[in-house]
Structure 1
Amino acid sequence: MKLESDAFSANGTIPSKYTCDRQDFSPPLKWDAPPTGTQSLALIVDDPDAPMGTFVHWVLYDLPTEITNLPEAVPNDATLASGGTQGKNDFGKLGYGGPCPPSGTHRYFFKLYALDRYLELASGATKEQLEAAMNGHILAAAELIGRYSRQR
């Protein structure tokens, strides 16, 4: 699988509209078809460069396999109209919370997983709960890294 965005290239700078410095929209994402046998998709976005350890920006799971992209500015609702359930980020909210590094340039890892089943977790699951539920069910994964530093 390959994960891409029309908003930034691999290892490129994430535009400020997708961060706490502007609108804090989720960026558009797209991917190719998952492998045969995939029942659902999951997405985790995190920042391993955060001062207190990895900071989670987005947890999304049980995306139907017919979905091959997420548009810009996905609503931070418990469930998406097209299918999928939102987890809780480390800001303590459902859905996407954009880059907001306290200093320096941070890396943001967008990780998409193809799973052999639906996880059926309630909305608000954490990254740790999602990873535990995915254990042994990952058929493939794709990653896109973006970078951001605040302009003050």
Structure 2
Amino acid sequence: MKIGNALVLAAAITLAGCSAEGATPASGLKVASPAFAEGAEIPKKYACAARGGQDVSPPLTWSGVPSSARELALVVDDPDAPGGSYIHWIVTGIPATTTRADEGTAPGTVARGSGGDPAYKGPCPPSGVHHYHFIVYALPEAVTASGDPQTLHRRIKDAAIASGETIGTFAR
């Protein structure tokens, strides 16, 4: 295949709603927090008490939810945790028309996170800098909020028709 044809094919795939790698749905879903910039440090207020915080969830906003979405889910994940991914917060049952989560407020049903409780658990790294992924998933139907946090996150991710995230850091 000539380079020009490959570029035309990649552009056609992108315009059709897929990326060239793996043909996954193009997202367009944008997530941000007015409390911290993308890739910046999360303010201490949103961390765990052991790190001087208040264990209150930061405000989040999102846009670009596909019209075919029937529900949203929100997951806060720390992939840098010593034992692997640590789920700090899972919220399901968020109406697809919702565009934000206010500080300290869950916009849906809170499921059990890796800490064992159905609650937001702020950043609390044992050492070093950790990256916290605030991910919003657009779902074509409701996902039952049951099972262990890793399995629930995987079910949400597998069912998603789009997703977007913002990442904040926190260091001990």
User: TM-score when scaled to structure 1?
Assistant: 0.85
**CA displacement at 1:120 relative to structure 2:** 3.7
Q: 1:133 and 1:104 mapped to 2: Cα distance?
A: 29
Question: Is the aligned partner of 1:132 residue 2:160?
Answer: no
Structure 2 segments unaligned to the other structure (5+ residues):
1-28
Shift of 1:67: 1.1
* Distance (whole Å) between structure 2 residues aligned to residue 92 and residue 130 of structure 1: 14
| Residue 62 of structure 1, aligned match among 93, 100, 119 | 93
Matched, 1:121 2:149: no
1:143 — aligned with what?
165
Measured against aligned partners, the alpha-carbon deviations of 1:27-75 in whole angstroms (never above 9, x if no partner) come to 000001411110000111111111121111011111001211000012x
Q: Distance in 2 between matches of 1:110 and 1:8?
A: 12
Structure 1 runs, 4 residues or longer, greater than 4 Å off: none
Structure 1 unpaired stretches of 5+: 75-79
Q: Give the root-mean-square deviation of aligned CA atoms.
A: 1.7
Query: Alignment length, in residue pairs?
Result: 141
Deviation at residue 119 of structure 1 after TM alignment: 1.8
The residue number in structure 2 matching 1:94 is 118
- State the shift of 1:85 in Å: 1.2
Report if the CA contact (8 A) 2:137-2:156 is conserved: no
Q: Percent identity among equivalent residues?
A: 40
Q: Which amino acid aligns with 1:9?
A: A
2:135 match: 111
The higher relative CO (CA closer than 8 Å, separation ≥ 6) is in: 1
Q: Which has the larger radius of gyration?
A: 2
Instruction: Look up the equivalent residue of 1:4 and give its one-letter code.
Output: A
